[in-house]
Amino acid sequence: MRANLSKLIQEQFKTPSPIRQIMKMAERQNIINLGLDPEELISFGGGWVNHFTPESYRKSYLEICDDKELFHSSGGYSTTIGELECRRQICNFEKELFNVRLSKDNVIIGLGSTQLMHDLFITISDPGDSIMLLDPTYPNYFGQIKFTLRNSKTIFLEGLDKESWTFIPDLAKTIEDFQDLYQARNPKIILLVSPDNPTGQIIPQELVEAIMDIIDKKNTFLIIDFAYKSQYFEEPPEYFSWSPSDHSQLIAMHSNSKWGRGLGRRLGWVEADETVINGLVSTQQCNILCPDTLHQMAFAKYVESSLRDNSLKKYIEESRIKYKKAAEITCDAIDQYLKMRTLRPQGGLYTVTDVGKDSDLFVTDVLKNTGVLLVPGKGFGPSLKNGVRISYGPLVENTEKITEGIKRIGDYLSH
Ligand SMILES: Cc1ncc(COP(=O)(O)O)c(C=O)c1O
């Protein structure tokens, strides 16, 4: 074939994501080629949750599919902004869990936060604008920035201090660094994740407040990616309750993937000022036309019934405790068997561990010799060159595998 793919894609092919490469290495056939038993593979690689969706949520799908008229409705286009009833129930969900005072006009629904972030970048910034991220951060953003805002510049604010292996050890200094970078580089977007991927830390209230003060009435948005909002292990900070009516430059990105184990049932939403919501409607119109109707109907049905019988909070609480326990088991095993520095998660599914050498080589060596998969840190930002991300999310229902996997690595390293 003589016809070329776009230059953008050709460039992407030349710089494949290190995470995707390692996940490929862990594919069944490759594990067999390495002389290992795929059944014995223990993976700390996956960025997903593995607890069960509430039964009543599953039943809301059954009820829709079992009713001829409802099922017929679920096959219709939704409005581009999302169904009114679903947006109303999102407001109720946020009020019940985090005391957010939200209006349906400040909510737009999409096909998960990945699509919404892509459309949000297009909606609020222009090619060439700068974007500030914490180092390290969620690696998918780098590709999304390239795809949506060609030639945009990425600015890193230090999150993980490599020397002490602590997260934001000196808040005053981080705020000062932020102020300096902001003045020098004038970013259009500041993007934080809380609880964070990959560090498992909750961004401190004081930092978020300082950022909001510094960018107040300037041409900048702060996006907080709340993909892991329900997986907090300590008292959640105050900004978990902030609403767009109080903070018009704050955009909260939400996902249905993690709290309800609906990763493949694509649904997410954005909470923002109406101007941003209206802009996103225009972008979504061209991109996805409308969010998935069946998932919106099932979500609305579940939230309505789980608020009525008081089961929503109980479910969130129970799953939250599971992840907290899995995080503790992971860190205890790292302390006992690896004796490496690791961050104690305050939420989410991950910790980052200092392996003291190039993490690409470390991860490949460990996989070949133990059948345990870790994720090398380089793809998350420069601070994690000698670090790995360990995800306990997929093993939340099999925590004995967490200890077994870490012990296997410890046994190998000590030989
Ligand atoms: C920080 C962060 N944002 C977004 C996503 C993807 O979310 P969604 O499934 O809603 O696209 C992930 C997935 O791992 C994530 O870690």
- Which tokens belong to 19? 């995470």
Residue 168 three-state SS = coil
Whose C-alpha lies nearest to ligand 1, atom 3? 227
Whose C-alpha lies nearest to ligand 1, atom 15? 227
CA of 278 to the centre of ligand 1 (A): 23
Residue 413: how many CB atoms within 10 A of its CB? 17
Q: Single out the residue of 90, 124, 125 nearest to residue 109, CA to CA.
A: 90
Long-range contacts of 404-408 (CB under 8 A, 24+ apart): 404/42, 405/42, 405/44, 405/372, 406/330, 406/333, 406/334, 406/336, 406/337, 406/338, 406/372, 407/333, 407/337, 408/42, 408/370, 408/371, 408/372
For the stretch 117-140, pLDDT in tens is 999 999 999 999 999 999 999 999
SS3 content of the chain, % helix, strand, coil (to 5): 50, 15, 35
Whose C-alpha lies nearest to ligand 1, atom 13? 47
- Which tokens belong to 118? 């892509």
CA distance between the termini of the chain? 52
Residue 62: how many CB atoms within 10 A of its CB? 10
* Residue 415: per-residue pLDDT: 85
CA dist., res. 340 & res. 331, Å (int): 10
CA of 337 to the centre of ligand 1 (A): 30
* Residue 1: per-residue pLDDT: 82
Report, as ranges of residue numbers, the positions in the chain whose pLDDT lies below 70: none
CA of 268 to the centre of ligand 1 (A): 10
For the stretch 186-197, pLDDT in tens is 999 999 999 999
Among 114, 141, 229, 266, residue to substitute to test ligand 1 (most atoms within 8 Å of Cβ): 114
CA of 414 to the centre of ligand 1 (A): 36
* Residue 353: per-residue pLDDT: 98
For 46-107, where are the alpha helices, taking DSSP H only? Answer: 55-66, 68-74, 84-98
pTM score of the predicted model? 0.97
* Residue 15: per-residue pLDDT: 81
Position 246, amino acid: D
Residue list, ligand 1 pocket, CB within 6 Å: 47, 112-114, 138, 193, 197, 225, 227, 255, 257, 263, 268
Among 229, 255, 295, 349, residue to substitute to test ligand 1 (most atoms within 8 Å of Cβ): 255
* Residue 399: per-residue pLDDT: 97
Q: Single out the residue of 326, 294, 301 nearest to residue 390, CA to CA.
A: 326
Using CB atoms within 10 Å of the CB of residue 162, give its burial: 0 to 12 exposed, 13 to 18 middle, 19+ buried.
middle
Residue 252: how many CB atoms within 10 A of its CB? 25
Residue 234 three-state SS = coil
* Residue 238: per-residue pLDDT: 98
CA of 408 to the centre of ligand 1 (A): 29
- Which tokens belong to 356? 């003291």
φ, ψ at 284 (rounded to 5°): -65, -35
Q: Domains plus CATH for the chain?
A: 7-52+313-414 (3.90.1150.10), 55-310 (3.40.640.10)
Q: Single out the residue of 175, 193, 109, 185 nearest to residue 154, CA to CA.
A: 185
CA of 50 to the centre of ligand 1 (A): 15
